[in-house]
Each structure stands twice: as structure tokens, then as C-alpha cells.
Structure 1
Amino acid sequence: MTERRIAVISSGLSNPSSTRMLADRLLAATVAALTEQGVRAQSDVIELRDLAHDITNNLLTGFAPAPLEEVINRVVSADAIIAVTPIFSTSYAGLFKSFIDVLDPDSLTGKPVLLGANAGTTRHSLAIDYAIRPLFTYLHAEPVSTGVFAASSDWGGSADEVAPLSARVERGARELAEAIVRRDPVTDADPFDPDTYLGKGRSFGHLLGGLAGE
């Protein structure tokens, strides 16, 4: 049985959070779909809430503190990403965007991504397609067709019976699993390759504060 690794990015602010609940469901469904195809999956679940100060420091200085650097390495070296954010003011959370901003712009090229979002009402369900998907497309990642949105009602007795959350989760997970299987496994970069920063897929320009002039 082959093995792949999934990085799960959850940017919920509360603890516990419905963002993390959705992330966990997407991960479990993806692992199950991969198992059906003879692929063993490992995962790294990343709570951005725990890294908020380090992310801010990276934006201000251009250098990632060690805990954040380790998380960045996990994300850029994963075979696929599950990215879940709450929706605030019709778009992704500021913490979510700030984390994306500290990644090297080329580090997600070609990487399959399953997008998830949650909000209090279904009125924000289109935010995945008009806000989050363009962000990952700009970074040359490859979001799967199905984005999974969960409103507060999806967790209660008034859940949508026509297109229940479970069905949307399973569809998105199957698409991500298929995208993972189609690609070759990600291999560790050469630590002496001058095109990468310490084998971590980060450019020297980014290391030296490429965001400083923004």
C-alpha cells in the first residue's frame, strides 16, 4: 500500500470551533476514500490560531519563527492540502489570508487542494468560489471542483435534506483522493539545491523579506 501525506489548515478562532469540525470531517472522508484506492494517508492538522503571533511576526520581519517554519515545511511538502476557513464579512478570515501570505508564492504549484468554509448562514456559501478558490488558483495550486460549505444549520436538526453536509463532504473528499492518486508522491527536496531554501521550497527572495516592500 502506497502512502501520501495531507496537510490540514484550520483557521477557526474559537476552541472548539465548527471550522475544525469541518476540517476533521473532510480529512476523515479523504482518508477513507484513499484507503479504498489502496493508499495509506498520514496527516498534519494545523490550527492557525496557535500560530497567530508567529504569523504576524513573519509578516513584519520577513522571517518565520521556528514553530511557523516547521508548519510551513509541512504544508509545502504535503501531497495535498485541506484548507478550511470561517467566513467573515463575505470572505476568508484575516488569519487564514495572513498565513497564505507568508508562503512562498511558488510553493503550492500543482498541489491538490480541497476547500472548505463555514459561516452562520448559507448566504455566504458562494464565498468559496468568489474568494477562496481564486486565491489558490493565483498560487497555481489545483483546487478540486467541489468546495464544501457548512452553515450553522448543517450541524443541527434543520440540516439540508436535499444536499446534506455528509454528501458534500464525501464528494469533495473523493475528488481530492482522485487528484492525489493521479499525481506522483511529493519527495523531499535536495537541501543543497540552490533553487530552494534549505530544501523547503522557499526562495531566497522570500527569505530575505520579499514581502517587505508590499
Structure 2
Amino acid sequence: MSNPVFFSKPSEIRGAGPGLDVVWARLAQAQVLRRHALTLLGVAAVLASPWIASAWPQAGWVNQGLEWLGLGLMLLALLGRCACMLYLGGRKGAELIADGPYSVSRNPLYVFSVLAVLGIGLQTGSLVVGLALALAAFAVFRWIVAEEEQLLHTAFGAGYDAYCARVPRFGPRPSLWRTPQRVTVDLPGVWKTMRDALPYFLSIPLFEAVEAAQDAGWVHVRLWLF
């Protein structure tokens, strides 16, 4: 769930100095911590799920509606992340990406990732679970964005500052949309993004299996959440 607006190594940037190397190394360490934090969040959610259930009746329209909404959000996240890669994957060298999704939000990949996490949580039929997971993921992304912004500012200076002044950090602000007439697409990159996002949908059979186990009395619910 990375946000590779800036994806080149410091050595590939003209005039890159030792200061950029230091910021790059710090960001690399932060990205490792981000992956660990998101992994722990996922593991905690899976381990807690047998003892948590939706307070809405399973066959009721609210429960079913939340699950369908979650599916829609996961599909939107999948398509959105692929759209981001259409503008990222074909770029050569070190550039500040400011077209397409990046023209309305500085971190669209993270925005779509939060929507995906919300959709995954809604597969439990509980709005509280979905929002709790999404807020936890957002907190992690907000922290890593601050680290990335230091690198981008160091690399692009005034150009990045002007971009920040124009485009919201998360947003999005659709009125700012802009795109070139032609975009060079890296198809393997788009396919990799799609492949990496497909595990979102494993949450559907996972939480259905948890509900079946709860109904069968194999595990006992301790907390009911709307």
C-alpha cells in the first residue's frame, strides 16, 4: 500500500546531495515500520474477529447493505490504485507526479488504501469495526506521509511547495483534475498493482467463515458492535 509519488533513488536525481541520502535512508526505515504496523493491524483484526460480531441481524438489510458497501469500496480501491499506476508506472527518471489522481490529491494511493481497509472491515457487517480499522490505517498512513514529504521537499524544493499549496494532502478536490492527452503506461506495473490488491477480497470468505463458526457455536461472541 505504498505511495510512490517519488520512486527514484537519490543517485538518479540531478544535483542530489548527501542531505537527500540521509532523508532517503530515514524514509526507508519508516516504510519498514509502516509495513510492520499494517501487518500487526491485520493480524489483530483476524485474531479478534471470532469474538466480535455485528449487532445488526445477519439477514437484515443493514448488515447486508454494509457488506455490499464494503465490496463496492474494495472494488473502487482496486480501480483507483490501478488508475494511479497509469500515471506512475510509465514515468522515466525522477519526477514529481502531479497529473491524474495526483492532481486532486497528493496521496491518492493512501486514500484508496484507507477505503479498501474500510471495505474490509465492513465485511463484518459492523460500521464500528470498519471505521475503527480505517482510522487505524489512516493514522499509519498520515505518519508515513509526513516522512515522505520531507524527502519530496528535499528533492524538489519550491516546486513541491507549490504543489502542496495547490493540492490537498488527502482530499480529494475534483475541481483540480488535470491530465495530459497521452499517458505512457507500464502494463506490468498496473498488473502488479491489481494482483497486490486482490487479497482485499479474501476478507469476504474469511468473515463469512467466522460468522458460520459463531452460528455453529464453535466460538462465542463477546462483543456486539453496530
TM-score (norm 2): 0.23
Q: Which has the higher contact order (CA 8 A, sep 6+)?
A: 2
User: Which of the pair has more CA radius of gyration?
Assistant: 2
Q: Which has the higher helix share?
A: 2
Q: Which has the higher strand share?
A: 1
